[in-house]
Structure 1
Amino acid sequence: MPSFDIVSKVDMQEVDNAVNQTVKEIAQRYDFKGSKCEVTQEKESIKVLADDDFRLKSIIDILQSKFIKRGISVKALQYGKAESASGGMVRQVITIQQGISKEKGKELNAVIKETKLKVQSQIQDDQVRVTGKNIDDLQEVIRILKGKDLGIEMQFINFRS
């Protein structure tokens, strides 16, 4: 029976490259001279530390542009609340979303059921598997899901006929 999987994965090497490029650009830009701005990456998150809100927003803009240039969707980024740090600095944690959460999986299932196509979908850990008897129905589901904005980056893998 034909099937495919819907996943949401981010290449962490590309994330690392984007963070490194951001750090280099901050070091070279004139408007950041003499500031104590930092961008550090931990396992699944990025910490941004800046002198003020304006510089924080500038750093996030630079980071987003680097992500886009490296082919990483900015939908994979979940922004924490900007909070004040010691010394009058501002800190924000950006989490990188890996996998599809249970809530998003249920939302995907609901969208697939609304299509009234003869396919079944089920949540498996951090992915959703869609099966059906007709390959054309599966391709139609992929087309519909690409057209919807569900707030997550989706990849369609393991298309088997």
Structure 2
Amino acid sequence: MASTSSFDVVSDFDHQEMVNTVDQTLREIKSRYDLKNTNSTLELGEATITVNTDSEMTLETIHDILRQKAAKRNLSQKIFEYGKIESASGGRVRQEITLKRGISQENAKKISKLVRDNFKKVQASIQGDAVRISSKSKDDLQEVIQALKQEEFPVALQFTNYR
């Protein structure tokens, strides 16, 4: 058994699930009595969500609804990076929420160092915004996945291309 097995550690989310999350959040905003007349809007871009509402209190309520809907769709809370609250025209407030994708070089180095230090028969190589983990033993790869799941990283990790 000389062949090697591998998998990729990535940080990504399903864009269609995010579209559904924003859509459900908008529906709840329109139907909730305390948010009905706030004229709140959510605009989903490629990598951002822009929230426009009438006060910071309703903005926090929208955050709670968005987080709740994302959790129901198995989206990690770590993908949301809340920007600065800005004042908009008409006494309203606007906030841009950045949707994080990819593993930064700093986090990729932490992952590969953790793998190198704890697993001698496993190799980790940084490939752009992903980390490829390879080994001859699939059992070792399973142990690496369990170890990475127990660590706290500032990004949501997924394990793909398991071969």
Structure 1-normalised TM-score? Answer: 0.93
Deviant stretches of 4+, over 3 Å = none
Measured against aligned partners, the alpha-carbon deviations of 1:68-103 in whole angstroms (never above 9, x if no partner) come to 111111111111122222222111111111221222
Q: After the TM superposition, which of the residue ranges 111-120 and 48-57 deviates more from structure 2? A: 111-120
Shift of 1:134: 2.2
Structure 1 residues without counterparts, runs of 5 or longer? none
Residue number in structure 2 paired with 1:109: 112
Same amino acid, percent of matched pairs: 45
1:3-31, Cα deviation, whole Å (9 max, x unpaired): 11111121101100110111111011100
The one of 62, 67, 85 equivalent to 2:65 is 62
What is the match of residue 90 of structure 2? 87
Deviations 1:88-120 (A, max 9, x none): 211111111122122221121122223143211
Look up the equivalent residue of 2:19 and give its one-letter code.
D
Mean CA deviation greater in 111-120 or 12-21: 111-120
Given candidates 10, 13, 18, the residue that maps to 2:16 is: 13
Query: 1:141 maps to what in 2?
Result: 144
Task: State the partner residue of 1:98.
Answer: 101
Task: Give the C-alpha shift of residue 32 in structure 1.
Answer: 1.1
5+ unaligned residues in a row in structure 2: which ranges? none
CA-atom RMSD, angstroms? Answer: 1.3
Count matched residues: 160
Given candidates 19, 30, 35, the residue that maps to 2:33 is 30
Give me the TM-score of the superposition, normalised by structure 2: 0.92
Amino acid aligned to 1:119: V
| Alignment partners' CA distance in 2, 1:146 and 1:102 | 19
